[in-house]
A and B are shown apart, each in its own frame.
Chain A
Amino acid sequence: MSRPAETPGWLQQRVDLLAERIGVDPRRRWRDWLTALLFRTRRARQRRDLRNETLETILGGIGWLLGLPLRLFERLIDRVSYGPIGAGLERWSARPAFTGPLTSVLVLIGAALLLALWATTPLSLGQQAGVFVVTWLATLFVRRIPGKLPTLLMIAFSLLATSRYVWWRVSETLPLDGATIEWLLGFGLLLAESYAWTILLLGYIQNAWPLDRPVAKLPDDPSRWPTVDVYIPTYNEPLSVVKTSVLAALSMDWPREKLNVYLLDDGNRDSFRDFAAEAGARYLRRADNRHAKAGNLNHALARTDGELIAIFDCDHVPVRSFLQTTVGWLLRDPKCALVQTPHHFFSADPFERNLATRGEIPNEGNLFYGLVQDGNDLWNATFFCGSCAVIRRTALLEVGGIATETVTEDAHTALKIHRRGWTSAYLRVTQAAGLATESLSAHIGQRIRWARGMAQIFRIDNPLFGRGLKLVQRLCYANAMLHFFYGLPRLVFLTAPLAYLLFELHVIRAESLMLVAFALPHLVQASLVNSRMQGRYRHSFWAEAYESVLAWYIALPTTMALLRPSSGEFNVTVKGGLVEERHFDWQIAAPYLVLIALNTLGLAMAVPRLLYWNAFETGTVVINALWSIANVAMMGTALGVAAEARQVRRAHRVPLSVPATLYLPGGRVVACQTLDYSASGLGLTLPEGLQLASGSHVHVGLVRGDREHAFPARVALSMSGRIGLQFEALSLEAEQRLIECTFGRADAWVDNDRGKPQDQPLSSLRTVLRYGLRGYGEAVSGLVVTWRARRARQRSARI
């Protein structure tokens, strides 16, 4: 705003105040004021609360009104006490008449026959709708009953709905009048849907009955505990990252003479060798880097002799109880070859950071480590995830060491071990933690590698065939691999409505109302079941959001790996970096923008279709338009993730509340409480009345068991009631003690095992849509920032 010099004081004051609130320099021109007023970019950059508040409120209000009748009904049925019903159901099902293999087989055959009969019975539109309303209402009751049996009942209802939809879709809706473009697209959509149905069914089998295995106790006599080699492979990670893991591994509770920690350095770095020698770890390196991580591990396998092998990625920090927690099962069951524990990340992954969902919404990995692996475990199909696991040497040697044929050597090794008749165990107890991928591009790179590797295994050592596996084991493995093929189907769903909206192609030959009457029950029931089964580990509609972000990037590598499994090389996931500047990653977002543009164009076309061109089939236009709107909303979330938030600290803080002792200069010693810690610092709450100047040198004592260790530190930050300490040059021994008192605490990650709040499908839908809306805000403000930067560059180039 260019203002005349004679602006009165009071007005100037107001202007300055407003400028400060919306975060614009008051001397800037009117254009900056306008963008700031419209998008509030500066302030949002600090607080991350950029949102189109008015729009959000209006849409939220509409959603609230639409959901009102349902909520009133649910309030009514919530008056029933469901606990006793669940308990009664458990008792009833435990009767001997219902158990035994013969009963199971008979029931299974009977159910399959009935389901086939049910799915193929023709019903009129009204009858089909009526059946749906009845099962849906029944489900609303059933989902309130606690226990695993009601889940099975809900799965049954879902199968009823889906089977009818599948039969109807295949038998009545395909465009079968010759090899036209419609025929091609129609079959493409059917294939994508078939994929979704398969994954849904496999998911039900895999997740219906999580095992929830307890920890097996070790013998009291430590002389009967096996010898353990710990492998920590590294390639190009900095020593500061690797150090923590090695020191924590050395501090694990295990008889000294039975624990050997090996730092496997593929980077041939002398500093690593010296560190290992000083810390008391062994150091191995090799002449070449063949087969990357798998080759590195195999190299060590040939040069060590521990009965068990614990493997940690070099940025995964184990807690002291890791071995005592995991080894029990390997002793109890001599056929057990593998014990896997969850991968937990104490830094936010790109989704959590860029959407600011950490702690509120389960992240991408929660579903796998919270539910899928636990479900696999029931069927003895838990697989190795490359880190935070213990493997029996004899089993590993029997399959020729870590598999080298694919880029996901971990899963493939586990598959080979299972084929040999070994068993596996999954313990859903977080016993290690590490860093999440730092940026979205690195995250996508990692997922591409996983997807490619799984596709490679599917091609060269397909779990559905070959020797040694039980049927459900095959299905669990198949699902784990097929899961990564979501790329193409997701892209099909994201573009499907365009066939009609842009080109008036009828890829589904059906009356719009019939489509609703068949598809809606399938979608609603499936979503209700998944919400119940996965609720604490994946909230409804987040799978769609995560997939929308990754689909484009994963589609090609998986397809290529299927066609030519041997192509491509191993890429290392980059960790420990820092997103220096908040920016919008246009390169990553390009495919999202294309998909959004196409769907928006489709929506624009929907208007004339609805009013003039296709006024005779309004239902079809409306359905396709709604589908496009859903796509646009999902892609908004993807845009939100592409807006990279700046990372403030390299050292990530972990909350911790334990007593600490503060040794002040002058001899006073004060009792405090810790707030959080990182590898380099500690946050403390101070007792009332105590003030400490920044820069003071103190010691801080932390307790581990019956020992207290004091660490020299400097007050880096002093606020009322709390201080931030920065540790001063610590000796290697002190560093090890520090890790024992922080990352290595047995209870360091217990909060992670409690899971997140149970999902509520409708409120989760609202949340996802809200994030979608914000994504667009982020993109627009990103556009402004990029445009400004470019203009500034041009200007400076001119000078």
Chain B
Amino acid sequence: MFVVDFDPANALGMAIGAGPHPLRGIGTGMARGEDWSDTALSTADGLTLLPFGEIEAGECVALEQALLQRPTALADQLARIAMPKEAVLLIDTPRRPSVLADAACRAADGVLDVLTLAPQSQAGLARPPEAANRVWLLNQFDATSPLHVDLRALYVQQLGDRLAPHAVHRDEAVAEALAADRPVLDYLAASQAVRDLQALARWLVTPARAAA
């Protein structure tokens, strides 16, 4: 299992327990033309994380321009990773519209679009679903809010089986775990959000879905 943080916010390391803010990573490597293969970090759970690295605004713009000129640049870089055949590689991206996110989408076999339940996210869905490899996930769901229940029903109607069947619940335990700098699974195993994420993982790797 490989995880790539392709977001200049560089926050994924904290969330999955690989330590805060690494200085170098795939982002800085691509921006500066350096080798990034030694920046990979391992977590206690056996994940391999490629961090983004601390990047300056100017460097970031340069990286974006490079990606605009050569959209397959990220795919080429990732192809260098020696992965077993059955391995899964997850890329975390900034919120779209974003050049980095588009580059990641182009490099990926499938895209998981996270819809955070808030009134403005509904606007994003007005566009018809694009590429066939794109699926959606509801985040921060709260069934005690009638609005959430209605919105979820609407999404189900619009997206059908391209919406992950398990919404991820809004759970204070997630925020507490982040604050305590601990993986949420260790922090509170009975958290509904953890159950949702586990179910999501199972859903993503079901053979039928993998084939599509």
* A contacts, CB < 8 Å to B: 659, 661-663, 666-672, 687-690, 699, 701, 706-710, 712
Contacts and interface: CB of A to CB of B under 8 A. Distances in A.
B78 interface: no
A671 B188 CA distance: 10
A709 B156 contact: no
28 contacts: A663-B142, A663-B144, A667-B170, A667-B171, A668-B171, A669-B170, A669-B171, A669-B173, A669-B193, A670-B188, A670-B190, A670-B192, A671-B190, A671-B194, A671-B195, A672-B190, A687-B189, A687-B190, A688-B190, A690-B190, A707-B149, A707-B152, A707-B153, A708-B149, A708-B152, A708-B167, A710-B142, A712-B144
Nearest to A664: B172
A716 B28 CA distance: 57
B137 to A, nearest CB: 14
A689 B153 CA distance: 34
Nearest to B173: A668
A710 B143 contact: yes
Nearest to B190: A687
Contacts of A708: 141, 143, 149, 152, 167
Given A663-B144, A706-B156, A710-B144, A669 B189 contact: no
A672 B156 CA distance: 24
Contacts of A661: 143, 169, 192
A12 to B, nearest CB: 49
Given A661-B192, A669-B172, A671-B195, A706 B143 contact: no
B102 to A, nearest CB: 30
A237 to B, nearest CB: 32
Contacts of B141: 708
Contacts of A667: 170-172
Interface in B169-205: 169-173, 188-195
B192 A669 contact: yes
The 5 closest A-B pairs by CB, nearest first: A687-B190, A667-B172, A710-B143, A669-B171, A669-B192
B165 interface: yes
Contact of A706 (B142, B144, B165): B165
A547 B144 CA distance: 53
Interface string B60-85: 00000000000000000000000000
Interface of B: 141-144, 149, 152-153, 156, 165, 167, 169-173, 188-195
A647 to B, nearest CB: 34
Nearest to B160: A706
Nearest to B198: A671
Given A668-B172, A706-B156, A709-B149, A701 B143 contact: yes
A661 B170 CA distance: 11
Contact of B143 (A659, A690, A699): A699
A710 B144 CA distance: 5
Contacts of B156: 706-707
A668 B192 CA distance: 9
Contacts of B188: 668, 670
Contacts of B142: 663, 669, 710
Contacts of B171: 667-669
Nearest to B169: A669
A706 B189 CA distance: 24
- Of the candidates A670, A671, A701, A712, the one having the most CB atoms from chain B within 10 angstroms of its own CB is A671
A690 B143 CA distance: 21
Contacts of B165: 706
Nearest to B145: A710
A668 B153 CA distance: 23
Given A668-B172, A708-B149, 4 more contacts: A662-B192, A669-B171, A687-B189, A699-B143
Contacts of B167: 708
- Of the candidates B153, B171, B173, B190, the one having the most CB atoms from chain A within 10 angstroms of its own CB is B190
Contacts of A706: 156, 165
A701 B144 CA distance: 8
A668 B193 CA distance: 10
Nearest to A737: B149
Nearest to A661: B192
Nearest to B175: A667
B46 to A, nearest CB: 24
A682 to B, nearest CB: 15
Contacts of A687: 189-190
Contacts of A669: 142, 169-173, 191-193
Contacts of A710: 142-144, 149
Nearest to A670: B190
Contacts of A668: 171-173, 188, 191
Nearest to A672: B190
Contacts of A671: 190-192, 194-195
A667 B171 CA distance: 6
Contacts of A672: 190
Nearest to A667: B172
B48 to A, nearest CB: 29
A312 B150 CA distance: 32
A710 B194 CA distance: 19
Contacts of A701: 143-144
Contacts of A707: 149, 152-153, 156
B167 to A, nearest CB: 8
A723 B32 CA distance: 58
Contacts of B194: 671
A703 to B, nearest CB: 9
A347 B149 CA distance: 33
Contacts of B193: 669
A670 B172 contact: no
A689 B141 CA distance: 25
A738 to B, nearest CB: 13
Contacts of B152: 707-708
A709 B142 CA distance: 10
Given A706-B165, A707-B152, A666 B143 contact: no
A662 B125 CA distance: 30
Contacts of B191: 668-671
A670 B170 CA distance: 11
A668 to B, nearest CB: 5
B117 to A, nearest CB: 13
A124 to B, nearest CB: 75
A431 to B, nearest CB: 26
A173 to B, nearest CB: 73
